[in-house]
Amino acid sequence: MFISILIFGFLFGLILQYASLNKYNTISGMATLDNLTVAKAIAVAIGLGAILLNIEIGLGLASFHVKLLILGGIVLGGLLFGAGMAILGYCPGTLAISLGEGSLDALLGIVGGLLGGLVFTLLLPSIKSILGPDLGAISVRSLIDSNAFFYVLLVVIGLVFIAAAFWLHTFEKQRNYRWLIAGVLLAVLNTIVFSHFGSDRPIGASTSYPYVGDSLSGLIHNDYFIKIKKPGHWELIFLGGAFLAGLIGSLLTKSFQLKLVHKNWEKYRGTSKVQRAVWAFIGGFILIFGARMAGGCTSGHVISGGMQLSISSLIFAVVVFGSLLLTGKLFYKS
């Protein structure tokens, strides 16, 4: 099991690295609308993945793992996650890949994220009241009784997402289609991971941060740690594979480089290494705290949840991208 999870993580890392989806310039570029690669790849992954996964589940080869629609947590967590993603320029999963490539700001983001996960565990008993109400695990599938109508609607929704990706592509001058290949491969990989012969769970990353942070601090005798212990362990191995992909891929392509300040940061925020280090740490803290409030991140909520047509995940995605763009405008362009 350990080896298969590591391989899944390695493949995940290679896919994102192939299309530069893990890089600070790409993700922060989405926040400033200089680069739409992330949005295009995610739209393709959700569109194609929704069709593949729901057919797989319909054949009895996989199960739904729809996240609960805990409205306060989804909205507030999504706002924080989007802000942290813009400032940090990474997602919980891409941090490991970029660290493998030598990005020192990714390391600082991870440290901030570990603290964010630890603080969330400590504060959870006192903030539970603002996370609700819990409206249950709701998906498009659970709302429709007719199988025939659902599968027709499924194909339509999937094609709309894919068409949206190509529509976004028309706004960019570059004609690189690596985002398309990456989106297709992410959909296929997640479908395999979801399957009963894979890991019988979605791809995810953010649970590993409180898992590691709580373990290192000894904060393990609480209900939250017991709840996240198994998924956190899985995601830690998965991210270990992603880190290896970043390291090996960058060494083979001779692109490995210890770097703290990236091009897009210099363009908007200057060349100060201290400023970048501080904001990377803060961004990592906000990112993971928001992810834990919402119960997931870009890979576990937006992509994996989007593929399940989960209502909580679709709401989270809208809030995250809105917050990402607003933070990009205020933090980078003001």
Do 264 and 25 contact (CB within 8 A), yes or no?
yes
Mean pLDDT, residues 184-213 taken together: 98
- pTM value is 0.96
Res 8: pLDDT:
98
Q: Would you place residue 138 in the very low, low, confident or very high pLDDT band (cuts 50, 70, 90)? A: very high
Mean pLDDT, residues 240-264 taken together: 97
Res 334: pLDDT:
64
278-290 residue pLDDT tens: 999 999 999 999 9
Mean pLDDT, residues 70-77 taken together: 97
Mean pLDDT, residues 197-208 taken together: 97
- Give the largest Cα separation in the chain, rounded: 58
Mean pLDDT, residues 271-279 taken together: 98
Q: Rounded to an integer, what distance in angstroms lies between the CA atom of residue 57 and that of residue 308?
A: 10
Res 1: pLDDT:
87
Q: What residue segments make up the domains of the chain, in order of their start? A: 2-332
206-250 residue pLDDT tens: 999 999 999 999 999 999 999 999 999 999 999 999 999 999 999
Do 114 and 212 contact (CB within 8 A), yes or no?
yes
The C-alpha angle 113, 114, 120, rounded to 5 degrees, equals 85
Q: Rounded to an integer, what distance in angstroms lies between the CA atom of residue 198 and that of residue 4?
A: 8
Mean pLDDT, residues 108-132 taken together: 97
Do 170 and 31 contact (CB within 8 A), yes or no?
no
81-91 residue pLDDT tens: 999 999 999 99
**Does the pLDDT at position 173 exceed 90?**
no
